[in-house]
Structure 1
Amino acid sequence: MMRQRRIGRVLRAVMAPAAAAVATVALAGCFMIPLADGRSPFDDPFGPSFTEVRAQLPALQEALDEALTGDDWAAQAVVASDNCEGACNLRLGIDLAPSSASAEDAVAAAPDAASSGWLDLAVPPETLSAILEAGAPVAADAKRDLTVSARCLGEAVTDATGAEVTVCADLTDIAQAITGSDDDYFDGPFFSAAPDEITLRTSTWAVDEILSRIE
């Protein structure tokens, strides 16, 4: 009996460090998987990679090009993410900015914009509706969330006095219409809103819910 107890203590003494070593290796592996992909070490190691999300961008861009037939807005399919000391929670994204023509027209119609050097253009409900109707099916097929982000025109617009004005898209009004709240941040089961962005869950119910609020 004493001999069996000694053997048991020896086995426990040997197995404890071995188990700890296995756990350490497994934990290190969890950090290394996203790091190898250029993501944050704190991202879900089994979450989508940059390669997986980028593979869906051509289909998303094609849908956007077909949806936005006018010249007022430019929509670019991108990889959207959060910041967890690096990119995390990767998903499909749409960067929405005024076109050069609409930015020039807006600056010409707002002479006071030169004093601040900045001009925000509210995104019309019909524009966001067209974008969501086009992009949501692609995101749902890919099982990804979809984030629409307000962006600025890449180059400043020069007004009649020679002053340069930065022109940007503005989602503030439409985000308040969607959420029914003027809070900066909103997080619901179907969508979330934050300053300058709206994120749609992959559920098709989310599309119907949002469109019903902005039509």
Structure 2
Amino acid sequence: MRSEGESADDEFKKTLSALRAVVTGHDALEVLARVAFAMFMRIAGLARDPTRKGVEVWHVEILQALAASAPRRTNDGRTDYAGPAQASIDLLEDNGQAYRKTWLRKLTADPVADDRLELISLLRDWTMAIRGSRHVHQTEEFSRALTAAVDITFRQEHHCSPDDFVTVLLEAIATLERRMRSHLQWMKSWMRKRSGIAMIKAFTQPLDPDVAAFIEADLLPTALKGA
């Protein structure tokens, strides 16, 4: 187990070094913006690969720290930032997986101390996981600032304004949330009735008359049909 922890520590240091090289070797703001967009896409449920956890807020925070650790490189306008951005995402995920296992190198022969280490490790993982909790206005402000910073290159690569892209994405999310709230309210209107008959009546009440009649004819007791 300790050897696994040592290997994880080596992997953590190696991926962090590689990540720093990718970020500081390019225009860090361009890379950061694209990784942040990937995070927003994951939050919206539009991630390309559902088998991977995807970008979390704490991933973006690591990139922010790395970006601030060196002077910003000048954007030459010819670099395709999709490659460095994807490399950063892959390295961030590998780095996070390695970090979660580094506690194993501290294991001792004391089972009580080892149990404490494992508990601390779990708490650390949970803390990383809930770092994604943010106020909506903070997420919107962050996305607006990033879109303004990469407006020119985004237009060149995708032929649209990043600000427009974020606006459409946020509006889509807001629309889905409104529809979900409305749907849940409708479900509560009939699911909380005291009898099955009352539930069916409440369920069919907002529906098209022909559809309501079809459902009631199939579900209501014979004596109540058409009542």
- The one of the two structures with greater contact order (alpha-carbon pairs below 8 A, sep at least 6) is 2
- Pick the structure with more helix per residue: 2
Report the TM range for the smaller structure's normalisation: under 0.3
TM (normalized to structure 2)?
Answer: 0.23
After TM superposition, the score normalised by the length of structure 1 is: 0.24
